[in-house]
Amino acid sequence: MYSTMYDGGIPPVSELSFETNPYLKRIKDTHLLNLRPILEVADKHEFGVLAANCLRPEITRGVLRAAFDLNSPVIIQVAESQVSYALDGWFSGSKFDRLNAFAEFVAKEVERLWDEKGYLIPIALHLDHLQNDDQLAFDALRAGFTSVELDFSKYPPDVDREQGVEMNIERCSKIIPELHKHGVTVEVEEGEIGEAAVRAAQSEEEILREFTKPEHAVRLIEGTNGDAIAIFVGSAHGWYLRRPIIGYRRMREIDIAIRERGFFAPIVLHGGTGLSYDAVHKAIGAGARKFNYATALADIFLRAIEKDPSGKGAEIVQKMTETERQESEAKGRKPRGARYVIGKFAEEINKLSHSVLQAAEDAVYEHARDVIINAYGSKDKAPLYGDNFGRCPLE
């Protein structure tokens, strides 16, 4: 039995219900789950769960369709940065308005698929990588999100790691109690994940020195009562420019250390794009349960619309690429790719033909099916969550 509260620390997460959380989006007579039940079952049965960053309606639908068809749990998420560069254009209004509209969209799609398939699957709605705007955590709560990641792992270079962990805890402590009171789970982060392109310029020794240490991970969980923990063990955001150095042994050491202290806070592996399926399997064996996946899904969508027979899709992607290049150069950084301006071109993308957008959704669907089956091993795991979820695999 795992501890629910560190003495003198932050209260544990409450049970998620309409009674504890009036902001939940109602889907028929129920609501989405938070991370705890999704990761508890994944942990007991040793599989991974896809946590998909969804920057477009077609990406969201493709991922949800795949999870429903494969009888699999799934986590739908959007990052703080994506609220600006993706949701702004897809939706309008304030950051809260965009988060609320996104949550409404997801709830409606889940209900539509439930009606179509005749069963529900376990789904969480997660705000990823909150780093700058602390208020956004409370906006996500009011918008009906069931989980939030507080990524306060970046601190000034003159601060040592131990002090950085304490700063992380201090900032988290101003947010987590309110989220936990309403049944919203919190993922915390120790160690800055970073960009794959930046990591490629580092030596192996430099990367290994930055690995999260077990004692720092344990202290962060003790101090925050976090429900999951993202750590730096070599994976990074974006496409890998070289084979990543993944610390499976360190991952296992951290997982064991947290469990030995009586906490349940499964490991989250960020930087899923480009990891081999063998690497994912090893990570699952080392204790990783939630796998963040963003870049590949966005790029699959963009490649699909580039194939538009009319040429309009390719023209839009070319304009996106050039716009992002100019914006990056103006800020003194290297170009990062068309996906970082996807919201600015939402109106133009929406004008593409239905067949082109459907082809893009289908491309995402096929890829999501592939990783659910071959990487994370969550196919047909929905019934493990209880009688309210999934179809019998024998049907």
Tens-digit pLDDT profile for the chain (395 aa)? 233 444 457 999 999 999 999 999 999 999 999 999 999 999 999 999 999 999 999 999 999 999 999 999 999 999 999 999 999 999 999 999 999 999 999 999 999 999 999 999 999 999 999 999 999 999 999 999 999 999 998 888 888 989 999 999 999 999 999 999 999 999 999 977 666 566 555 666 777 777 899 999 999 999 999 999 999 887 655 554 557 778 899 999 999 999 999 999 999 998 767 788 999 999 999 999 999 999 999 999 999 999 999 999 999 999 999 999 999 999 998 888 999 999 999 999 999 999 999 999 999 999 999 999 999 999 999 999 999 999 865 54
pLDDT of 232 = 86
In whole angstroms, give the CA distance from residue 172 to residue 92: 29
Task: Using alpha carbons, select from 26, 187, 50, 48 the residue that is nearest to residue 106.
Answer: 26
- Cβ neighbourhood burial of 359 (10 Å; 0-12, 13-18, 19+): middle
> Does 275 reside within a domain?
yes
Is residue 365 a part of any domain in this protein?
Answer: no
Q: Is 69 exposed, middle or buried (0-12, 13-18, 19+ CB in 10 A)?
A: middle
Q: What percent of the chain has pLDDT over 70?
A: 91
Domain residue limits at 257? 35-295
The total number of structural domains that make up the chain: 1
In a domain, 203, yes or no: yes
| CA dihedral over 20, 26, 28, 31, signed as positive or negative | negative
Longest dimension (CA), the chain: 63
The pLDDT score that the predictor gives to residue 6 is: 41
**End-to-end alpha-carbon separation of the chain, Å?**
35
Determine how β-strand 49-53 pairs with β-strand 288-293: parallel
- The first and second tokens of residue 262, run together, are 């009586």
What is the model's pLDDT at position 210?
A: 75
Residue 259 exposed, middle or buried by CB count within 10 Å (0-12, 13-18, 19+)? middle
Q: Which residues lie closer than 8 Å to 298 by C-beta, 6 or more apart? A: 53, 55, 56, 59, 339, 342
- Give the global pTM: 0.94
Confirm whether 348 is domain-assigned: no
Residues 6+ away with beta carbon under 8 Å from 305: 313, 314, 316, 317, 349, 352, 356, 357, 360
Residue 242 within any structural domain of the chain: yes
E strand or H helix that includes residue 254? helix 248-260
Give residue-wise pLDDT tens across range 349-385.
999 999 999 999 999 999 999 999 999 999 999 999 9
Nearest-Å Rg of the Cα atoms of the chain is 20
Q: Is residue 237 part of a domain?
A: yes
DSSP run (H or E) holding 147:
strand 147-150
- Whether 303 is covered by a domain: the verdict is no
Determine phi and psi for 123, rounding to 5 degrees. -140, 135
How far apart CA 231 and CA 235 sit, in angstroms, is 9
Residue 368 within a domain: no
Residue 217 belongs to domain with CATH number: 3.20.20.70
User: In terms of Cα–Cα distance, which of 268, 378, 293 is closest to 44?
Assistant: 378
**Pairwise CA distance, residues 270 & 126, whole Å:** 14
